[in-house]
């Protein structure tokens, strides 16, 4: 999956020497704090050229690789 | 009292926070700074802060959650380098650099442009309010408002009564803050007011304890957290504020009172000289390097 691969590449910079699982809570592991959520939003918007609307600004959409991937897929379908 | 149009002068960290907090509480805001570049950054920062606040609020009805959509709130703020728009301002909050040569011309300009009824609030942690009042022809309508950072989340404000500040102005300031969902505690004008006079001395003394090898930063902060129930110890607080700002504030107190109890700790001076400024540099009394 191209989308998941791109997410993993981005996160790898912050999760050094840690094999982050697709369903693992990014924010509960202590590598990043909740402010990192905005960096994730900007990464998603810039990398996939999609706009995250107010109603999608929910931390649960950014909590795991799976959640991020499904958000992006959903947005790509809408725009594409 | 109605505060429909509010001027916010200075788009640094505090000005941005005040403008955001006002826009979230349905005010029309005119945010003024000297360059379009600073204003563009301010707009991006406010947008990010609003999006983050939305993301972290459990439900949109939560009291800390901003009212309305991100773009709707942002649209309430006019970003400009022109003071002319302030001719109808009901209230002005000034947040420019804490230096007399920067602040004085701002007050002269505000005094010339704003209507006579308009109150000027100086958002400052150390500047004498009486002196700012003297830079205008309305010293009775100049007051101090020491907002806490991050402004949208902090509901208590230290309000400072200058020598000439009238009771009517204090009532206006209270009503203004209530409209932002905030409360205040009013104190009289004196160097450092209440909060910073005590905080800076505490931080400085904690630095002496490290300097004299009485204890470590970790243990000093733990004592405050676990014995006194403080959310943060004095040295981690200092790291958050920035050690350069701490040193500057203690030096101001030292000069203002000419009292040696405010002499800055040599370790604090050395850390600032070495570029160890706290969180923003990655190293202070504690380490923040990833």
From chain B residues 79-98, the ones with a CB under 8 A of any chain A CB are: none
Could you tell me if A35 lies within 8 Å of chain B, comparing CB atoms?
A: yes
Residue B79's φ and ψ, nearest 5 degrees, are: -100, 120
Number of CB atoms found within 10 A of residue A75's CB:
19
Of the candidates B146, B236, B249, B254, the residue annotated as catalytic is B146
Q: How many CB atoms lie within 10 A of CB B274?
A: 11
In chain B, residues with a C-beta closer than 8 Å to the C-beta of A34 are 56
Rg (CA), chain B: 20
Q: What's the whole-model pTM score? A: 0.85
User: What is the DSSP-derived secondary structure letter of residue B286?
Assistant: S
Cβ contact, residue pair A41, B55, below 8 Å: yes
Output the six-digit token pair for B36: 């379009």
A40 contact B CB<8A = no
Per-residue buried b or exposed e for B176-186, using 16+ beta carbons within 10 Å of the residue's own CB: bbebbebebee
Cβ-based contacts of A54 with chain B (< 8 Å): 54, 69-71
Which CATH code of 1.10.220.110, 3.40.50.300, 1.10.1200.10, 1.10.3720.10 fits the domain covering A2-79? 1.10.1200.10
The ipTM is 0.81
Any idea where the domains of chain A sit in the sequence?
A: 2-79
| pLDDT tens for chain B, residues 1 to 290 | 789 999 999 999 899 999 999 999 999 999 999 999 999 999 999 999 999 988 887 655 554 555 679 999 999 999 999 999 999 999 999 999 888 899 999 999 999 999 999 999 999 988 899 999 999 999 999 999 999 989 999 999 999 999 999 999 999 999 999 999 999 999 999 999 999 999 999 999 999 999 999 999 999 999 999 999 999 999 999 998 899 989 988 998 999 899 999 999 999 999 999 999 998 898 999 998 75
Q: Could you give all domains of chain B from N- to C-terminal order, each with its CATH number?
A: 5-188 (3.40.50.720), 195-281 (1.10.1040.10)
d(CA B122, CA B129): 7
């Amino acid at each position: 999956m191209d989308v998941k691969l791109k997410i993993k590449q981005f996160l790898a910079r912050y999760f050094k020497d840690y094999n982050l699982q697709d369903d693992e809570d990014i924010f509960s592991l202590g590598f990043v704090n909740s402010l990192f959520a905005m960096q994730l939003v900007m990464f998603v918007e810039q990398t996939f050229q999609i706009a995250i609307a107010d109603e999608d600004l929910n931390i649960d959409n950014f909590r795991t690789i799976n959640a991020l991937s499904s958000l992006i897929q959903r947005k790509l379908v809408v725009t594409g | 009292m109605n505060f429909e149009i509010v001027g916010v002068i200075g788009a640094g960290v505090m000005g941005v926070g005040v403008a955001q907090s006002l826009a979230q509480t349905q005010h029309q805001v005119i945010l003024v700074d000297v360059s379009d570049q600073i204003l563009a950054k301010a707009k991006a920062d406010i947008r990010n802060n609003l999006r983050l606040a939305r993301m972290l609020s459990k439900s949109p009805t939560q009291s800390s959650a901003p009212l309305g959509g991100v773009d709707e709130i942002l649209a309430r703020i006019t970003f400009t380098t022109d003071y002319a728009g302030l001719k109808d301002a009901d209230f002005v909050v000034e947040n420019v650099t804490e230096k007399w040569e920067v602040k004085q011309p701002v007050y002269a300009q505000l005094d010339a442009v704003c209507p006579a009824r308009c109150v000027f609030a100086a958002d400052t942690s150390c500047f004498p309010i009486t002196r700012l009042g003297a830079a205008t022809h309305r010293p009775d309508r100049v007051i101090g408002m020491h907002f806490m950072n991050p402004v949208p989340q902090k509901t208590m404000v230290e309000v400072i009564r200058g020598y000439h500040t009238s009771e009517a102005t204090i009532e206006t300031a209270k009503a203004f803050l209530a409209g932002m969902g905030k409360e205040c505690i009013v104190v009289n004008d004196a160097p450092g007011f209440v909060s910073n006079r005590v905080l800076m001395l505490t931080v400085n003394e904690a630095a002496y304890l490290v300097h004299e090898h009485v204890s470590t930063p970790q243990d000093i902060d733990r004592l405050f957290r676990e014995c006194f129930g403080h959310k943060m110890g004095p040295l981690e607080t200092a790291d958050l504020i920035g050690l350069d700002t701490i040193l500057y504030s203690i030096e101001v107190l030292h000069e203002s009172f000419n009292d040696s109890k405010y002499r800055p700790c040599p370790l604090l001076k050395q850390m600032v000289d070495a570029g160890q400024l706290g969180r923003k540099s990655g190293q202070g009394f504690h380490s923040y390097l990833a």
